[in-house]
Amino acid sequence: MAGDLDTDDLIARLALDARPVRRLAPPALRATVWLLGALAAMAAIIAYHGLRPGLAEALAEPGGWLSILAAGATGVAATYAAFHLAIPGTSRGWALLPLPVALLWASGLGLGCYAEWLRQGPAGLEFGEAFDCFLAIVLISLLVGLPMLAMLRHGRLIRPVQTAAMGGLAVASLASAALELFHEGDARIMDVIWHVAAVMLIVALSSGSGAAAGRSALRAST
């Protein structure tokens, strides 16, 4: 009986200090809100720089339109995957959502590389200004990724690595698609290499931060 009284007393004490908890909006809605904000920010960046010269010719090349549309679709799919993975009880299968369009994106990049190799041969592997692609994707990803990080902070105990990896893929692929519209690359093969390197870096950093956040939150709860 004393034990029951102690439990009731504990519940009463906890209830005195309890604060109302605001329920999160549905993940699809929050993902849409972030996407609209990210696309607006990228549109502003594109408007500031202006569309790159020769964009129409670049899009007419093999894989031109395919790589941009597939990169954008990968970003959209990864965004919805990240916000759903951060919710308890959702299926891990959400992590597979970006896979089909990511493979399509890779196919478009591969076609572009092949066409450039036929045209330039080993000369297409010169560095030129391709490293600028890497820096631009990383910087744009950081710009639009910070708001996503804040919106996904509640998911640090719910599959933190998968959630962070999907978030990293989302921001990096959208940044890559935006970059294609305003940055003029001088060696497409090296551009692709740096694009891929930047995307992999953002995903790796996101996954690492997700794992660290998960461990930190777990230690705090014990």
Written as tens digits, the pLDDT of the chain (222 aa) is 444 446 666 566 656 665 666 677 899 999 999 999 999 999 999 998 888 887 787 777 766 788 789 889 999 999 999 999 988 888 999 999 999 998 888 777 666 665 565 565 555 445 455 566 777 778 888 888 888 888 887 766 678 888 888 888 888 889 888 888 887 654 454 555 655 666 667 767 666 665 565 555 545 545
What is d(CA 154, CA 22) in angstroms, rounded to the nearest whole number? 12
Domain spans in the chain, listed from the N-terminal domain onward: 26-221
Phi first, then psi, for residue 206 (nearest 5°) are -65, -45
> Do 140 and 183 touch, CB atoms closer than 8 A?
no
pLDDT of residue 65: 80
Ordered DSSP codes for the chain:
-HHHHHHHHHHHHHHHH----PPPPPHHHHHHHHHHHHHHHHHHHHHHH-PPTTHHHHHHSTTHHHHHHHHHHHHHHHHHHHHHHTSTT--GGGGGTTHHHHHHHHHHHHHHHHHHHHHHGGGGG--TTTHHHHHHHHHHHHHHHHHHHHHTGGGTTSSHHHHHHHHHHHHHHHHHHHHHHH---S-HHHHHHHHHHHHHHHHHHHHHHHHHHHHHHHHHH-
pLDDT of residue 44: 93
pLDDT of residue 120: 59
pLDDT of residue 221: 46
Residues with Cβ within 8 Å of 145's Cβ and at least 6 positions away in sequence, in order, are 167, 168, 171, 202, 206
What is d(CA 21, CA 115) in angstroms, rounded to the nearest whole number? 56
